[in-house]
Amino acid sequence: MKRTMLLLAAIILMSACQTKNSDNQINNQDKAKMESIEKQKIENLLFTYRDALNASDVSKVLPLYTEDGIFMPSGAPTSIGTEQVKGAYEFVFSNIQLSIEFYIDEIIVNGEYAFARTTSKGSTLIRATGETVPEENRELFVLQKENGSWKIDRYMFNKMK
């Protein structure tokens, strides 16, 4: 009788462990799927940003930033908040026309925040001279989920060459 009870207890215990392992596998699969979905949303945001840059369209750039977003362009002052960011992009777009492609090197998601490392390559038309020059940068985006959507919270870039 003792032997049967021990055997039954062992079977129940093993069954519980297997269920727990199965639950962990399901949870890990769900977590990986959710992370993949969030990364895709971030990729979409980055490509929408690229398109807005190439169109020199401030009205398409601004909604991609959080309300207190920060733009840190190479060789220019930091812009904080919607009004300053708007002014910075108006200045940039009045001076140059970009034609670039983004390449995503890395996206890391951690809850309501994420960061993305990208590179961009293409050309820049300098409006004052009409000259077109090569353009190549590396970028760092800090992203925040705002009202369920990923937005640019901090953005910095610099020249690679």
- Residues 68-125 pLDDT 10s: 999 999 889 999 999 999 999 999 999 999 999 999 999 999 999 999 999 999 999 9
For CA atoms 97, 73, 63, 90, give the dihedral sign: negative
Q: Is the separation of the CB atoms in 160 and 132 below 8 Å?
A: no
In angstroms, the CA 13 to CA 80 distance is: 58
pLDDT in tens, 7-62: 555 566 556 556 555 556 667 777 788 889 999 999 999 999 999 999 999 999 99
Per the confidence metrics, is the pTM higher than 0.75? Answer: yes
Q: Which helix (H) or strand (E) holds 38?
A: helix 2-54
Q: Which two tokens stand for residue 15?
A: 């069954």
Cα atoms in the 13 Å half-sphere on the side-chain side of 130: 0
The more confident residue out of 18 and 137 is 137
In this predicted structure, what is the pLDDT of residue 62? 98
pLDDT band at 140 (very low <50, low <70, confident <90, very high): very high
Q: Which fold has domain 37-159?
A: Nuclear Transport Factor 2; Chain: A, (3.10.450)
Query: Parallel, antiparallel, or unpaired for β 79-80 and 113-126?
Result: unpaired
C-alpha closest to that of 53 among 116, 120, 117, 115? 120
21: Cα separation from own chain's centroid: 32
**Residue 155: band (very low, low, confident or very high) from pLDDT cuts 50, 70, 90:** very high
